[in-house]
Amino acid sequence: MKESDSNPQIGQIVQIQKGRDAGQYAVVIQRLDDKFVFIADGEKRKFDSPKKKNIQHLQCQDYMNEEVRRSLLETGRVTNGKLRWALGKFVEEVLEDLEKGDELDGERRRH
């Protein structure tokens, strides 16, 4: 396990690996201790009712949303809209690039 996998930071995007929400993405909004964090996505899981998750059940993404992080560190809060925006931006920038890369690789192999 990489170091970043075992040490999620506030504002970092994580993919849920275990439980009902497996496969979905969320934002770390608070670290409770060395084992647990609170996550929220601003939609199903709002800021005011975050999900407590064991960090072993999360896969940290190499993506930190600085606006969400700054808001949480400065005020202790973030809007649900900003959480949704951060996740949307992550999907747009990171996941779509990965898919495009996969498509290019597939096309190269076919030719």
pLDDT digits (tens, 9 = 90+) for 60-81: 999 999 999 999 999 999 999 9
pLDDT of residue 100: 72
**Structural domain boundaries enclosing 88:** 3-110
Distance CA 47, CA 39 (A): 8
Ranges of H-type helices in the chain? 66-75, 80-90, 96-110
* Predicted confidence (pLDDT) per residue in 10-69, tens digit: 999 999 999 999 999 999 999 999 999 999 999 999 999 999 999 999 999 999 999 999
The number of folded domains in the chain is: 1
Minimal CA–CA distance to 89: which of 60, 109, 66, 55?
Answer: 66
Q: What is the pTM of this model?
A: 0.83
